[in-house]
Structure 1
């Protein structure tokens, strides 16, 4: 009888020590910067960029397309700025994004996501005529465009 009780106690201890599987279902992704391109003459109309290439400073091309009117770009969460080069018909425009980062705990299964605060944008305006806004308080979702670039 003692052996049966010890056996049952051992089984209970073994199963109580197991952890349940954790699956992240909250979609905790770190937001990407969403940019829409607009016609400078008619600021309400999206305008495709032709022969478009994008690369981060010191990296290979991360995006190339013949025609595009919107793009989502990741920011470097280990730095305080990310510099992208936008090439349109072989004319290069440097676009700099500066920010501070904040880790936000989502859950044990999801871990952390990065929130970008005090985001500022700078451009050398070669083929980009203008952009809005120049600053953002927080970049924490990618449901809509963060920056509108006019060309």
Structure 2
């Protein structure tokens, strides 16, 4: 009987010494810039971009030949500017028919503590956007803060 009590006490001490598991339920912690595409003639109608590719300057492609009406693109948290080349081809897969646009995003990154399990996230302040190419217009050229990705930050009209 003494052995059982000793075993029970040992188990109790062992389990009480365990540390609670922390799980980060925020995924992703650092938000992406959310772009949603709309028809330039009917600005309330979403419009899919066909044969769409997006390439970060000096990096690999994020999307290649996708069809989408919205995208989430990461911003470089170690820099104050990210430049993307957006390529679409609405007619065929020939390179000669590609339409190219450039989206330049300037911002001030700021680290914010989330929790012990999640660590830090980056919030992007004073975001400024410039565009060229097939993009006719964007809904805003300035965003105060990007701290989540629950809704589109920028509407792109083409």
**TM-score after normalising by structure 1:** 0.84
1:121 to 115, 129, 132: 129
1:80 aligns to what? 80
1:76-122 Cα shifts (integer Å, max 9, x gaps): 00000110000011111010111001111011121001100000000
In 1, are the aligned partners of 2:35 and 2:71 still within 8 Å (CA)?
yes
CA distance in 1, matches of 2:141, 2:37: 15
Aligned-residue CA RMSD (Å): 2.0
Shift of 1:28: 6.3
**Structure 1 unmatched runs, 5+:** 1-7
1:140 aligns to what? 147
User: Is the alpha carbon distance of 1:24 and 1:67 closer, same or farther for their aligned partners in structure 2, counting shifts above 3 Å?
Assistant: closer
Shift of 1:68: 1.3
2:41 aligns to what? 41
Shift of 1:56: 0.1
Shift of 1:145: 0.3
User: Is the alpha carbon distance of 1:63 and 1:28 closer, same or farther for their aligned partners in structure 2, counting shifts above 3 Å?
Assistant: closer
2:110 aligns to what? 102
1:130 aligns to what? 137
CA distance in 2, matches of 1:116, 1:84: 17
CA distance in 2, matches of 1:26, 1:39: 33
2:119 to 111, 118, 141: 111
**TM-score after normalising by structure 2:** 0.80
Shift of 1:23: 2.3
How many corresponding residue pairs?
140
Shift of 1:70: 0.6
In 2, are the aligned partners of 1:52 and 1:64 still within 8 Å (CA)?
yes
1:23 aligns to what? 23
Consecutive aligned runs of 4 or more in structure 1 exceeding 4 Å deviation: 14-19
